Structure 1
Amino acid sequence: MTGETDAQLVARVRRGERAAAEALAQRWLRACRAVALAVTRDEADADDVCQDAFVNAIQRIDDCRNPERFGPWLMQIARNRGHDHLRARARPVLSLEGMEIESGAVSPQREAERDDERTRLLAAMDELTEERREVLLLHDLEGWTHREIAERMGLPPGTVRSHLHHARRRMRTLLPELEEGEE
């Protein structure tokens, strides 16, 4: 990945350099998807929302008033697109279609167990507020620090820590088997 700052990449995108847009996409794809998943609660929808957010951001790159904060700007576009997507559907639906299962040599029984685990996990995450889901996904799935999440979401770091604590506590309550597997 390029060592350029977001502001440098945005400047290159504004000059029409496709490679710079690809570098931004590569840098922010996982985080954008995590935000979209926190809003939509559906992997296929999150993929669609994330792609739509990237296309929209690149098309409107001149609207990015603070290029060094491209990431937070993109995350806000993803949040808005996710909410638009949910409104258009009129009701959020949990779908397991399109989820990828790693390892081609999985037994049908193990695949069914994974589907069941995935269903329970997504249902439990559905019990969290959108903000707590987003913090949990960005921290535990993407490995972002409290400070990075706070900057990206516009929250104080203490609030991020609190959201993470409460999200984890709620997940442990809803999925007690997660604690057993950590021992």
Structure 2
Amino acid sequence: MADSFLIEKCKQNDRKAQLELYRKYCDGMFIVASRYLKDGAAAEDALQEAFIKAFQKLDQFKGDVTFGAWLKRIVINKCLDIIKARKMEVQSLDDGVLHIAEGEGDWDIGEQVTMDEVYHAIDSLPENYRVVVKLFLMEGYDHQEISEILGITESASRTNLHRGKLKLKQTLKHLEYGTGY
């Protein structure tokens, strides 16, 4: 069934349509939630809460993006809310001290490094760097969007991305030369 038809049925509180829409998107959205919340149960809880919120706010879905993209943003925001609720300690940044000139094309890594090693290295970053790196690289958000999502300045987003990138390169360099973590 097409998403638009299912969405219209869901707006009328059709439980079968809600279940079908849930089944269509739950696996992919669980993967998204798992990128942010390492605990499978927490990712599952975030997913359930995101779907509940999506069904409650379905009248706000205008169709200017795909339903999947709209739902993904809700899932990510729910995960970030959970991270914030855990009283994530974020290193404060003095915006005036460091201004990063972004070179977005300098993410090259050695040929010997596998994608699994890259994902593991990203997961090993400190929380504030990891979240910004994932939002930027994996989800494709720009610094303005990241700043709005996380409630930080664009400069802080750039700085966290830059510092995360440096830590990643350092970690991956050790892997490339066989010195391990």
Scaled by the length of structure 1, the TM-score of the pair is 0.52
- List per-residue Cα deviations over 1:137-176 (Å, max 9, x = no partner): x8xxxxxxxxxx77xx79xxxxxxxxxxx9xx97x94996
The two structures, once aligned, show a CA RMSD in angstroms of: 3.6
Structure 1, unaligned stretches of length 5 or more? 93-120, 139-148, 155-165, 177-183
1:62 to 47, 59, 62: 59
- List per-residue Cα deviations over 1:119-152 (Å, max 9, x = no partner): xx8676243844765799x8xxxxxxxxxx77xx
Alpha-carbon shift at residue 91 of structure 1 (Å): 3.0
Distance in 1, Cα, partners of 2:173 & 2:38: 17
- Deviating above 3 A after TM superposition, structure 1's stretches of 4 or more consecutive aligned residues are 121-124, 128-136, 172-176
Q: 1:132 to 1:55 in 2, by over 3 A?
A: same
1:46 to 36, 43, 46: 43
SS of residue matched to 1:91: coil
**Corresponding position: 1:24 with 2:39:** no
Percent identity of paired positions between Structure 1 and Structure 2? 24
| Paired residue type of 1:125 | D
Whichever of the two has the greater Rg, that structure is 2
| Paired residue type of 2:60 | D
Q: Which residue of 1 aligns with 2:3?
A: 6
Structure 2, unaligned stretches of length 5 or more? 90-118, 143-164, 176-181
**Corresponding position: 1:90 with 2:87:** yes
Distance in 2, Cα, partners of 1:12 & 1:83: 30
**More contact order relative to length (CA 8 Å, sep ≥ 6):** 1
SS of residue matched to 2:62: coil
Considering fraction of residues, name the structure with more helix. 1
**Corresponding position: 1:15 with 2:12:** yes
